[in-house]
Amino acid sequence: MITIENLSKKYGSQQVLNIEHLNIPTGQSFGLVGNNGAGKTTLFSLLLDLIQPSTGHIINNEVQVNTSEDWKPFTSSFIDETFLIGYLTPEEYFYFIGDLRGQNKADVDGLLAQYQDFFHDEILGQKKYLRDLSKGNQKKAGIVASFIGNPKVVILDEPFANLDPTTQIRLKQIIKELAEQKDVTVLVSSHDLIHVTEVCERIVVLNKGEVVKDIETSAETLKELEVFFGAESALPVAE
């Protein structure tokens, strides 16, 4: 589904991302882990053509991301709250996104009904604009909006951060269900090793912009990651 070739991003002389080759097959649930500044958000921004690569390219379902816009109809994402339109109510926002993705009101309502539990009565029918919701509730709205329109690729940056424990558990369930659909590729980044090992089949660790680990998730993965990041705190660079 997604192929990354010779991808690098430099700001001045500082290299923030450098990935020689990475292939994410269709239907995989892909977890991206790394410390602050490891290049997670840079990679996701490149995937969404929000920044230009210094070298290389990304192919998303046979579409080269930085030259064509044809990846947009089947790719959806929630990176941060700049993806929300503050002066809309959550409902209006969902319908707007639905409009962009060719879904009518009834389609969107149908989808939202599935996330009643996840919303916990704090999103819909609140008579509040998105800008007046708490950070956690804004995030919930943004995450669900990224499920509208049957996307084939879903990109979520730090979806677990700022959520309360109940919502985190529900979100894990939702992502797992999404990953079970064989044609949906899910990309998730997180600082939380436990969550990410629970929901992702494959985990890639970025460190200073480079892929340092690429693991199929198994029972030992969490231990392995904890050892890796534990050593990271003792040694300056662990290859």
82 close to 133: Cβ distance less than 8 angstroms: no
Q: Which is nearer to other proteins, 91 or 232 (CB)?
A: 91
Cα dihedral across residues 180, 182, 184, 187: positive or negative: positive
- Closest CB 39 distance from other proteins, rounded Å: 17
Q: Which is nearer to other proteins, 85 or 222 (CB)?
A: 85
Q: Which is nearer to other proteins, 129 or 229 (CB)?
A: 129
- Closest CB 130 distance from other proteins, rounded Å: 9
Q: Which of 62, 126, 68 is nearest to 94 (CA)?
A: 126
DSSP-assigned letters across all residues of 31-87: EEE--TTSSHHHHHHHHTTSS--SEEEEEETTEETTT-STTGGGEEEE-SGGGS-TT
Judged by the rule CB under 8 A, the positions of this chain that interact with other proteins are 48-52, 72-73, 75-77, 79, 82-89, 91-92, 96-97, 99-101, 126-129, 131-132, 149
- Closest CB 82 distance from other proteins, rounded Å: 5
Which tokens belong to 88? 């809309």
Distance CA 80, CA 63 (A): 25
Q: Which is nearer to other proteins, 49 or 158 (CB)?
A: 49
Q: Which is nearer to other proteins, 22 or 85 (CB)?
A: 85
Using only C-alpha atoms, what is the Rg of the chain? 18
Half-sphere exposure (Cβ direction) of 8: Cα atoms closer than 13 Å: 11
- Closest CB 8 distance from other proteins, rounded Å: 16
- Closest CB 146 distance from other proteins, rounded Å: 10
